[in-house]
Amino acid sequence: MVCLGSALGGGARYLLSAAALRILGPSFPFGTLLVNLLGSFLIGLIVHAGLGGIGAPSTLRIFLTTGVMGGLTTYSTFNFETLELFRSGAFGLAFLNLAVTVVACLGAGILGLMVGRAVSGA
C-alpha cells in the first residue's frame, strides 16, 4: 500500500511542480513549496478527520499518510533547491525559501488539523 500511495503522491508532485514551473517560472522553487504546503495541509486534515488517524484502519492510514503524502511532499528537493539558491548567490531567495517553507508548512498543517476537526465534528 505504501508503494502504491507513493506512486500516486509522486506523480501528483511531478504534475504540480511542472505546472508551477511553467506558470511561475524558474526564479524560485514554487513547485516544491506548493507540494509541501498542500501535503502539510492534507496530512493535518487526514489525521484529524479520522481518515489517517489512530482509529482508521492501519492499511488506509499507512496508504494515505506514509504513501500518498510521503510521495507528494519532498524535504530533499526543498533542501537541494535552497542550497542551489545559496550556491548561485541568491541569498535573499534562499532565506525566503527557508522561512516561508518552515512557517507556511507548519501553518498549513495546523489549518488542516482545524479543518479536519470541523469536518469530523470532534
Q: Which residues contribute to the annotated binding site?
A: 70, 73
- What is the chain's percent helix, strand, coil content, to nearest 5? 80, 0, 20
- In angstroms, the CA 83 to CA 89 distance is 10
Owner of C-alpha cell 484502519 = 57
The phi-psi region of residue 67 (left if phi > 0; otherwise alpha if psi is between -120 and 50; otherwise beta) is alpha
Q: Which residues contribute to the annotated binding site for Na(+)?
A: 70, 73
> Between the CA atoms of 45, 4, 103 and 100, what dihedral angle is there, to the nearest 10 degrees?
-130
- In angstroms, the CA 102 to CA 93 distance is 14
